[in-house]
Amino acid sequence: YNHERPHGSLDGMTPSNYWNQWTADHQSAIA
């Protein structure tokens, strides 16, 4: 599994919002 990290805005989202989305998308992988 590739542990990518947020490193700035993405698709207009703030890093914080991107992290929240990333976490939601990867819950099963990081649980």
Q: pLDDT, tens digit, for every residue of 3-26? A: 566 555 455 667 788 788 888 888
- pTM for the whole structure: 0.35
pLDDT at 3: 58
pLDDT at 1: 47
Q: Residue type for 15, please?
A: P
Q: How many angstroms separate the CA atoms of 21 and 7, rounded?
A: 13
pLDDT at 13: 61
Over 70: is that where the pLDDT of 2 sits?
no
pLDDT at 22: 83
pLDDT at 14: 72
> Do 30 and 23 meet the contact criterion of CB atoms below 8 Å apart?
yes
